[in-house]
Each structure stands twice: as C-alpha cells, then as structure tokens.
Amino acid sequence: MVFREKILEAVKVPAFDEVYIVPSLAPVDPSLVDLTTRFSVNVSLKIPIASSPMDMVTELDMAVAMSLMGGIGVVHRNMEREKQVEIVKLVKEHPPVRLRPMYVEPNEPCKRVLDYLKQVGVRSVPVVEKGVFLGYVNYESLKQCEADKPVVNVVKPGESFTVNSLKEATEKLLRGSYDTVAVLSKSGFYLGTLVYTDILEDLSPVTDSEGRLLVGAAISPMDIERAKALDKYVDVLVSDVAHFHNVEVLESARKLVAEVSSDFVAGNIGTEEAAKDTLSTVERVSGLRVGIGGGSICITPEVTGAYAPTLWAVATVRDALEELGVEVPVIADGGIRSPSDIVKVLAAGASSVMLGYMLAATDEASAPLIAVSGKYYKPYRGMASKSAMEKRYALDRYAKVSKRIPEGIEGLLPYKGSVYTVVKDIIEAVKAGLGYAGARNIEELWSKAKFIVTHRGHRPPYKG
C-alpha cells in the first residue's frame, strides 16, 4: 500500500458550476418538452421534482402543492410519529385542486375586511368561525358598513361546495358567478377557498389509483413501527439517513421492506459499491436517493472529510445500475441550487431531483416568516444541524441516536413568495435546458447530452 499514490490517483470530480451541457439541435420547441418521469418504481411524476424531507420545508402545505404541480412532497420525520401520520392523511384527503386559507372571521371590522379584499383582488370572501362556514361578505356591502362594525352584520348566505362537487364549484367560478367559493369536507368542516384566478393556473396533479394526491414520508430504516403506521397512507417511504451504506442500516432496511407494501427509496448513498450492496441486501428497493455532503447547508465534508458530490454520485450510481441491468430510479439529492443544476444532474442519469434550498423560502414551506429590518426571510437548517437534531431526539421517543456531532448549519433565506410561482419558473427553465441539449424528454437527455468542463467561479450565483 503506497499512501502517496492514494493522493496522486484521487478522482478529479468537477462541481456543478464547472460543468455545462453542449448545445445541440433542438427537435421540438421547449414548451413541448415532456418532463414525465418516475420518482420510484411505482410512483410516476409529471415533473422531476420532490421537496426535501426537511423540517423547514415539507409539511402539509408543501406536500399538497408539490403533488398539485405534478411532483411529490416527502414529509419530514422530525416530529412525533402520530403527527407525521396525520399530515400524510390530510394530503390524501385534500381535493386535487388548489385551496387557499382565504377567509375572514365574523368579528373582524368591515374596514379591515374591505382593505383585505382590495389587497387580494377579489369581490367576496367566505366568513368562517372555528371551521364552520357562515356565508360570504362582498365588496359592495362592506362599503355600506360602518368601518368598525363586525362583518357578521353584512354576511350573506351563499353556496358552499364539498370535495365531491368541485366540478360544479369550478363551473360557477368560470361563469363569473363568484370570485371565491368555500370548500367543505364531507362532514361540513371548512377546508379552504377555491379562488377564480387559481383555476386558471396550469396545474397538473399526480394522483393514485383512487384519485388522491401522491405523497411520500421520510423514515429511519431503524424505525419499523413508524414505517408501518405511515404505510397505510403514503405512496412511498423514503429512507432519511446520511449514510445508508452501513451494515446495521442495510440490515434494518432489509427487515423493514418485508413489513410494508409502499415503495421504499433507499439512501443516501454515493458510490457504486453502495448501490450494489444496497440492491443485494435489501430485497425490494424502489428508488435510490443519491448524494452525500453536497447540500447547501450541509457541512459533512468539513466536519468528517467524507464527500460524494451529487453530480458525480448520480453518474456513478447510474453506471452501477446499468451494469447490473436494474431499472431503479435515481433521485439526485444535495447542492442543487438552480434550474441549470437540475438539467445537469438529470443529464447525468437522475430521474428526479430533491429540492430543499430552492423551495425553502416560499409561502408553503413549513418555516415561519420572519421580518428583519423591514425585509422578510424564512429560516432554513440542515437536518443534521444542532437544533434539528435536538428537536428530533426530544420528540421521537422511537429514534435511535447514532450521531451526536452536528453536520449541518442554520440560516435565513430571503422570502420568495408562492412555491407555485417558483416551481413554474423552474420548470420553464428546465424545459429550455432540455431543448438546448436536443432532448424531447428525460430519457433522450440521458442519451444525447454531452458535457464540457470549464473553470470554476466565472458566473454569478443564481438568484431565482
């Protein structure tokens, strides 16, 4: 063993900002590019995007939004088992349309509600008290109401719709009969408000065989009881450990898949050896989550010296799968900060990408909105940060403490607005990227894309 040769023969791996795709003849207009793909063996998506199971990113609102847009949300596990189960159940119960928490309470003053209607640009809004729909208030009646009087004085009865009558509700909105309609559960509980402008959006939900939104949930392979509880509702269980290529983790995962029926995504892994050991040990692997230490707020390389950068790891794992003749989707996870990075990692063999940083500062992310010196931000932290680890150990009495050294950091991201707008812009850019590569779809991208390597640091960072 010659130690010097280990250094001299080390693999030279380019980073995301050193690799680009060579432009080629575009066979179709970018608007016609098809981004359908698979997240796991039995879970198909219309866009190649999953939201990361981070506690500042994916809970109910994000999971619903992702599925409505054609991707999938993976609900984080940094909470009690019962709460995680409740969230995935609520995703499954959510109708396949965008609903907003747009309502007013009966004791709110008329002037404030009138200003609210002007702000959101609608003529009427539902009035709801403790989940009970009372009727609507409209712009004209509010103008006649004394400023400090409660809106309950001008509430007018109006139609509400259940999840079973959404087609009728949509028709009412399209005819201009209403700007907003209240949507209730089968038991009469207020679920949200369907808004005229939202039904004009180009949403393309992904659903299961019963027409329910798709959803995933993060688990530890060591926690079979949590996996079994979630298995009744989710479409895919996603392993959420930093280093899946571990004898104990592999053995636990082998036992876990025998107890559940949902698709199981193994990860994170980053090498050919890890892919082969995973597939030979765990009988039913439906997807591979690939990338170690590449996250925007992950400090695993600095703390431990270990690193499998996402672009290289995806290509390496995909080559291993090709060698084995196994068709298992690869999910690129970590360090993806722009649509450009998404196109590159898809070209390197990924079927989809897992995003945290790019979605974290949106309305639907589970972190609170914070004002600092007149500007708005959302907190963001790695799941191996000190505070995230402390919360997990405090809440999850079933968790096994395997590491005590933080491998993630925390910070604030400038507020971006709605995730619907953010993802729409991402998808437009990704389609354009495939067009430049000369690909009609992701499979063509795998075969047609050619890479060039440039010098690091010649471009400004993406600000989308």
Q: Which residues are catalytic?
A: 298, 397
DSSP secondary structure of 2-31:
-HHHHHHT------GGGEEEPP---SS-GG
Name the DSSP letter for residue 369. Answer: P
- Strands 132-138 and 410-414 come out as unpaired
Q: Which two tokens stand for residue 128?
A: 């709801």
Q: Which two tokens stand for residue 159?
A: 């139609």
Distance (Å, rounded) from C-alpha 142 to C-alpha 110? Answer: 6
For 139, left (φ over 0), alpha (ψ -120 to 50), or beta? alpha
Distance (Å, rounded) from C-alpha 323 to C-alpha 315? Answer: 12
Looking at the chain, how many residues does it have?
464
b/e map 268-307, b = 16+ CB within 10 Å: bbbbbebbbbbbebbeebbbbbbbbbbbbbbbbeeeeeeb
Distance (Å, rounded) from C-alpha 333 to C-alpha 355? Answer: 7
Q: What is the residue type of 157? A: P
Element (H, E) at 268: strand 263-269
Q: Check if the beta carbon of residue 183 is closer than 8 Å to that of residue 191.
A: yes
Q: Mention every residue, 6+ apart, whose C-beta is less than 8 A from residue 358.
A: 336, 337, 338, 422, 426, 464
Distance (Å, rounded) from C-alpha 462 to C-alpha 337? Answer: 7
Q: Mention every residue, 6+ apart, whose C-beta is less than 8 A from residue 397.
A: none
Distance (Å, rounded) from C-alpha 41 to C-alpha 63? Answer: 20
